[in-house]
Amino acid sequence: MPSFLHQGLLALVKANAAQLFELARHFDARAPLLLPGVDAYQSHANELPNPAFPGALLHADWVVAQPDALALAVEVQTCRDRLKRYSWLSYAAGVRRLFDCPGWTLAVIPDPELRRWYQQMFEDEARASPWFVEPHMLEPITSAQRAKRAPQRATFAALFHAREALGVACARATLDALRQLDPVDVPHRSIYRELVLTTLTREQLEELPPELLEVDPHAPLGPMERTNAYYTTGHEDGHKDGLAAGLAGAILTVLERRGQTLDAAAQARLETCRDPEQLQEWLELALADDSKTRLEALLFAT
């Protein structure tokens, strides 16, 4: 089941079709700009024909096209999925087949680290890469008046600039504009607001005027809030990550006091492991005498 961030982003891009075609021009100068008019573009169910398996279907997040000009399989990504190395190419072939025109996959990934992770998949084969939306392609909107004139564009820019130098300025302008707009004019106003807040760090939230948050982030949580699914899941994940980090640190400390060090690859494997049971097993091995060689072997055997 997709997350709120994924579904909120999807609602945003569906309201921003014109901008998607503008972004496509960063990758192909021949890409058409979206012409004014009701029939300027055609959206389609997210089902695509699978050229490799006739009769089978693929499912992109959204499909939009200017018939006879350019078709886009739009993919919103908020977590890692190694299968995208293959499926994104299939989506591109699917939209080309569906509309019988040029087409490609457009990847919408605001998280900079996640976007880099996906881009690395295609470093050695750039021709197979989808078109990744980047912050520099989206003009930062730091004025509330400008954001009011184009709230969808302002929100889109705020998400991609969230971890950039102008992240707080974009968020402040967008939140201020959304607060002033009538929900009748911007049906997804509350979704856009939550999207902007979701992408900010705690330090960035502290820089925003309290009236833009509409709630006090320092207010104590009540019993119902502390027992809801999101809170308990986050608490459990935080506890697990903290325990894993502590165990990994203990292993390195044990080896250091013996004058031993792991090679770089083994240490990276150790520090990225988030399974406390596995780390406990490695710690017990590290506590055994003369265990470095066996520990390194086990790190790469699991």
Closest CA to 153 of 180, 126, 186: 186
Residue 139 resides in a domain: no
Compute the average pLDDT of residues 62-80: 93
Whether the pLDDT of residue 99 is over 80: the answer is yes
d(CA 271, CA 265): 10
Residue 8 resides in a domain: yes
Q: What is the pLDDT of residue 300?
A: 59
Q: Is the domain of 26 the same as that of 112? A: yes
Burial of 169 (C-beta count, 10 Å sphere; 0-12/13-18/19+):
middle
Q: What is the pLDDT of residue 72?
A: 95
Q: What is the pLDDT of residue 185?
A: 86
d(CA 105, CA 132): 9
CA separation, residue 17 to residues 13, 61, 237, 257 (Å)? 6, 14, 36, 59
d(CA 93, CA 109): 21
Q: Is the domain of 181 the same as that of 241? A: no
d(CA 176, CA 212): 6
Compute the average pLDDT of residues 184-191: 89
Query: How many domains is the chain partitioned into structurally?
Result: 3
Q: What is the pLDDT of residue 196?
A: 95
Q: Is the domain of 124 the same as that of 241? A: no
Domain hosting 230: range is: 224-301
d(CA 140, CA 143): 9
Task: Name the more confident of 213 and 150.
Answer: 150
Which residue type is seen at 239? Answer: H
268 band by pLDDT with thresholds 50, 70 and 90 = confident
Compute the average pLDDT of residues 111-122: 96
The per-residue DSSP string of 83-129 comes to THHHHHHHHHHHHHHHHTS-EEEEEE---HHHHHHHHHHTTT-GGG-
Residue 170 resides in a domain: yes
Q: What is the pLDDT of residue 34?
A: 66
Compute the average pLDDT of residues 48-71: 85
* Angle ∠(226,229,232) on CA atoms, nearest 5: 55
73 band by pLDDT with thresholds 50, 70 and 90 = very high
d(CA 244, CA 250): 10
Q: What is the pLDDT of residue 260?
A: 80
Q: Which residue among 213, 232, 260 closes a domain?
A: 213
Bridge partners (DSSP) listed for residue 48: 58
Q: What is the pLDDT of residue 38?
A: 44
Burial of 116 (C-beta count, 10 Å sphere; 0-12/13-18/19+):
exposed
Q: Is the domain of 296 the same as that of 244? A: yes
Residue carrying the six token digits 């509309």: 99
Residue 120 resides in a domain: yes
Q: Output the average pLDDT for the chain.
A: 86
Q: Which long-range contacts (CB under 8 A, 24 or more apart) does 161-165 make?
A: 161/135, 162/110, 162/196, 162/199, 162/200, 162/204, 163/112, 163/199, 163/201, 164/135, 164/140
Task: Name the more confident of 284 and 141.
Answer: 141
156 band by pLDDT with thresholds 50, 70 and 90 = very high
pTM: 0.74
Q: What is the CA 240 to chain-centroid distance, rounded?
A: 23
Q: What is the pLDDT of residue 174?
A: 97
| Pairing, β 70-76 against β 103-108 | parallel
Tens-digit pLDDT profile for residues 225-258: 576 666 677 778 888 888 888 888 888 888 888 7
Residue 18 token pair: 């014109």
Q: What is the pLDDT of residue 158?
A: 98
215 band by pLDDT with thresholds 50, 70 and 90 = low
Q: Which residue among 133, 153, 184 closes a domain?
A: 133
How long is the chain?
A: 302
Tens-digit pLDDT profile for residues 131-145: 999 999 999 999 999
d(CA 15, CA 188): 9
Compute the average pLDDT of residues 105-117: 97
Residue 267 token pair: 């240490």
Q: What is the CA 131 to chain-centroid distance, rounded?
A: 15
183 band by pLDDT with thresholds 50, 70 and 90 = confident
Q: Is the domain of 178 the same as that of 250? A: no
Residue 218 resides in a domain: no
Q: Is the domain of 186 the same as that of 287? A: no
Q: Is the domain of 129 the same as that of 164? A: no
Closest CA to 175 of 153, 150, 197, 198: 197
Residue carrying the six token digits 């979704």: 191
d(CA 194, CA 191): 5
Q: What is the pLDDT of residue 1?
A: 66
Whether the pLDDT of residue 125 is over 70: the answer is yes
Tens-digit pLDDT profile for residues 10-44: 999 999 899 999 999 999 988 887 655 545 778 87
